[in-house]
């Protein structure tokens, strides 16, 4: 009998907690929300009167933040809006397969270097000679890898702003003249990452890649294959293809990127949206009107 009463008592408490959780938001909270909404240029006091077809105010950034969050780790939005404004922490889960094309022959990196999420991407970086061969590594993540994601086309080697957020993290200032200084970039990002518990940095070039700060800490080698050269050129991975067969490999690489074109995008990297930081800030840039004017006249 006593146990029955105890069970009834705990059931009563559980029901009370559920009912308490269903209490609507207070009027004060609702008024604060409306005040916040009107801050962006809307003066409709009643949500039922909102016109959802009305464009946002010219200085509003909430819609930009929302659209960014809605398109993270998706290839096409990151290509269309290539200059990113957002950084997001995330995890690469245990068991994730990653790929690395060596540029120094049959030698695996032991410290910092790059990996790709698709083999078609990493294979174009395999380098070597006929004697040494072209070596391609397949790796598996053995411990959860903490990463920081830079949105946009953040691995594009151009000086027009694609690397601005990385510059701010690595050097506390934007250095567009250093857009090709990738070695210094990964060294300084990883130095910052070591202080903040970050193991790598996710970016998008023609496909998604991860800048790995320590090759031996979170991955193990599955295979190390001697493959036919898929290099795009003799001196630089961005040179034009030398022959039709290589051109075919380039199309394969771009096709693999299309698998992550839209939602859900790259699903092997799990982002923590609660840690999202946006560089859209009305306090830093009180007015977006000049920017809109430049884009309309440019």
pLDDT value of residue 115: 95
Q: Which residue shows structure tokens 């990385």?
A: 166
73, 263 Cβ separation under 8 angstroms? no
pLDDT of res. 63: 83
Angle at which helices 164-171 and 182-195 pack, to 10 degrees? 60
Domain coordinates in residue numbering, the chain: 82-286
- The CA distance from 42 to 36, in Å, is 9
pLDDT in tens, the chain (298 residues): 444 444 444 444 443 443 333 334 344 434 444 444 444 444 445 667 778 888 878 788 888 888 899 999 999 988 888 989 999 999 999 999 999 998 877 788 888 999 999 988 888 888 877 777 889 999 999 999 999 999 999 999 988 889 999 999 999 999 999 999 999 999 999 999 999 999 999 999 889 999 999 999 999 999 999 887 655 544 554 455 556 666 666 667 676 777 778 888 899 999 999 999 998 877 777 777 776 666 555 5
């Amino acid at each position: 009998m006593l146990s029955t009463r105890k069970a009834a008592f705990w059931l009563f408490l559980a029901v009370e907690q559920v009912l308490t959780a269903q209490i609507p938001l207070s009027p004060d909270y609702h008024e604060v929300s409306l005040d916040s909404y009107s801050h962006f240029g809307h003066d409709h006091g009643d949500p039922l009167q909102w016109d959802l077809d009305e464009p946002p105010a010219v200085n509003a950034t909430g819609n930009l933040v929302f659209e960014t969050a809605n398109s993270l780790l998706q290839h096409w939005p990151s290509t269309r809006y290539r200059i990113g404004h957002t950084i997001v922490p995330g995890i690469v889960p245990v068991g994730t397969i990653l790929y690395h094309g060596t540029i120094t022959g049959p030698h695996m990196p032991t410290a910092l270097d790059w990996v790709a999420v698709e083999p078609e991407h990493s294979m174009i970086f395999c380098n070597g000679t006929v004697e040494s061969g072209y070596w391609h590594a397949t790796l598996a993540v053995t411990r959860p890898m903490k990463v920081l994601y830079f949105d946009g086309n953040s691995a594009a080697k151009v000086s027009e702003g694609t690397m601005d957020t990385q510059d701010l993290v690595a050097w506390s200032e934007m250095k567009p003249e250093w857009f090709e200084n990738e070695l210094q970039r990964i060294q300084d990002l990883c130095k910052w990452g070591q202080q903040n518990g970050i193991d790598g940095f996710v970016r998008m070039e023609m496909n998604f890649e991860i800048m790995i700060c320590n090759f031996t800490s979170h991955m193990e080698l599955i295979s190390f294959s001697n493959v036919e050269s898929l290099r795009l050129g003799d001196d630089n991975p961005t040179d034009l293809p030398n022959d039709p067969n290589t051109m075919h490999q380039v199309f394969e690489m771009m096709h693999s990127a299309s698998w992550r074109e839209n939602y859900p995008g790259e699903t092997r990297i799990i982002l923590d949206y609660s840690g999202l930081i946006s560089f859209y800030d009305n306090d830093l840039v009180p007015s977006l009107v000049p920017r809109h004017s430049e884009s309309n006249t440019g």
